Chain A
Amino acid sequence: EAQVTQNPRYLITVTGKKLTVTCSQNMNHEYMSWYRQDPGLGLRQIYYSMNVEVTDKGDVPEGYKVSRKEKRNFPLILESPSPNQTSLYFCASSFLGVLNTEAFFGQGTRLTVV
């Protein structure tokens, strides 16, 4: 089954404790991206990747890191989480840099930083 898999689904952590949210897709998509969703703000892009070893900042990259060592995986790293990073996070992937192909989303990760 074609899918984007995120883990974990829910995470509560403390300020400053490094964490990684994993994202994996099995559709051989070149393009992968991370979004955060906050009430009234829609989906805001954090980072995106056009292919292996190619990553770029989105609209809200501060406090986040990503890597793309393999085509299928695109982990999101929070080196020192802060309460303002409490949010719902989505990973998405698609062919051809989303120019005219639909994006497939993971199940979401609800992160709470206390």
Chain B
Amino acid sequence: ILNVEQSPQSLHVQEGDSTNFTCSFPSSNFYALHWYRWETAKSPEALFVMTLNGDEKKKGRISATLNTKEGYSYLYIKGSQPEDSATYLCAVSWGKLQFGAGTQVVVTP
């Protein structure tokens, strides 16, 4: 089992503040790094899939970076809004998809 770790487990953010959190994984046997957003009572939805070292992806106020050599990815939320409240899952693809436990983000007005 590939060990995919996410930190912190949860965080509270004031509306308008920016935040970031981490996904770390063994740097060997790496194919791709996925980020998903999972809102309560819904299904996880893909945000980004990244494969290359140094890759950066952006969707609106959310962006992600990838460092495959040291085995980590950061997800950034700029100017957090209440609708950003969700659990953010990262997953590493190495023939199958191995998920981390997620970071729960709560944005308060």
Chain A residues proximal to chain B, CB less than 8 Å: 4, 33, 35, 40-45, 48, 58-59, 90, 92, 97-108
**Contact mask B74-93 → A, CB, 8 Å, 1/0?**
00000000000000010101
When chains A and B are docked, how far (Å) is the Cα of A43 from the Cα of B101? Answer: 7
Q: How far apart are B30's CB and chain A's nearest CB, in angstroms?
A: 11
Name the one of A42, A97, A100, A108 contacting B43, with C-beta atoms under 8 angstroms. A108
In the complex, what distance in Å separates the CA atom of A104 from the CA atom of B49?
A: 13
Q: Given the known inter-chain contacts A101-B49, A103-B34, A107-B43, please indicate yes or no for A42 contacting B99, CB distance below 8 A.
A: yes
Residues of A within 8 A of B99 (CB): 35, 42-45
B96 — which chain A residues lie within 8 A by C-beta? Answer: 33, 45, 48, 58, 97-98
Contact present for A102 and B43 (CB under 8 Å): no
Q: How many residues of B contact A (CB 8 A)?
A: 25
A42-B100, A45-B98 are contacts. A102–B89 as well, Cβ < 8 Å? no
Chain A hits for B89, CB < 8 A: 42-43
Q: How far is the CB of B26 from chain A (nearest CB, A)?
A: 16
> Which of B91, B96, B97: most chain A Cβ within 10 A?
B97
Nearest CB in chain A to that of B4: its residue: A42
Q: With A42-B89, A100-B49 in contact, is A90–B43 under 8 Å at CB?
A: yes
Determine if B51 is an interface residue (Cβ-Cβ < 8 Å): yes
Closest to B34 in A: A102
CA distance A4 to B46 in the complex (A): 14
